[in-house]
Amino acid sequence: MGLYLHIPFCRKACHFCDFHFTVNLKGIDALLQALRQEAEQASAEWKQGSFDSVYFGGGTPGLLGPQRLGPLLEHMHRCFTLQPNAEITLETNPDDLLEFGTEGWKAMGINRLSLGVQTLNPQVLANMNRAHTADQARRALDLIEASGIPKVSVDLMFGMPGQGTQELIQNAEELAARNIHHISIYGLTVEKGTALERMVRLQQVELPEEEEVAEQYLALNQVLTKAGFEHYEVSNYARNGQRSRHNSAYWSGEDYLGLGPSAHSLKGDARWFNRSSNAAYVQAMNGQGGIREPEELNADQKINEWLLTRMRTLEGLGEAEALQRVGAKQWFEWLELKQKFPDNWFQAERPLAFSTQGWLMMDGFLRAAVL
Binding site for ligand SF4 (CB under 6 A): 10, 13-14, 17, 19, 21, 58-60, 93, 116
Tell me the C-alpha distance between 178 and 152, whole Å.
Answer: 10
Could you tell me the smallest distance in angstroms from the CB atom of residue 148 to ligand SF4? 26
List CB contacts of 336: < 8 A, sequence separation 6 or more.
none
Cβ 113 to ligand SF4, closest distance in Å? 15
With CB atoms as reference, the residue minimizing the distance to ligand SF4 is: 17
CB of 100 to ligand SF4, least distance (A): 15
Minimum Å gap between C-beta 133 and ligand SF4 is 14
Residue 65 or 351: the one with the smaller Cβ distance to ligand SF4 is 65
The nearer residue to ligand SF4, 21 or 46, going by C-beta atoms, is: 21
Nearer to ligand SF4, 19 or 306 (CB): 19
We find the least distance from the C-beta atom of residue 78 to ligand SF4, in angstroms, to be 28
Comparison of 11 and 138: residue with beta carbon closer to ligand SF4:
11
Q: Which is closer to ligand SF4, CB of 190 or CB of 214?
A: 190
Name the minimum Å distance from CB 60 to ligand SF4: 5
CB of 260 to ligand SF4, least distance (A): 13
Cβ nearer to ligand SF4, comparing 14 with 88: 14
Which of 11, 350 has the CB closer to ligand SF4? 11
Instruction: Classify the phi-psi angles of 119: left when phi > 0, otherwise alpha if psi is within -120 to 50, otherwise beta.
Output: beta
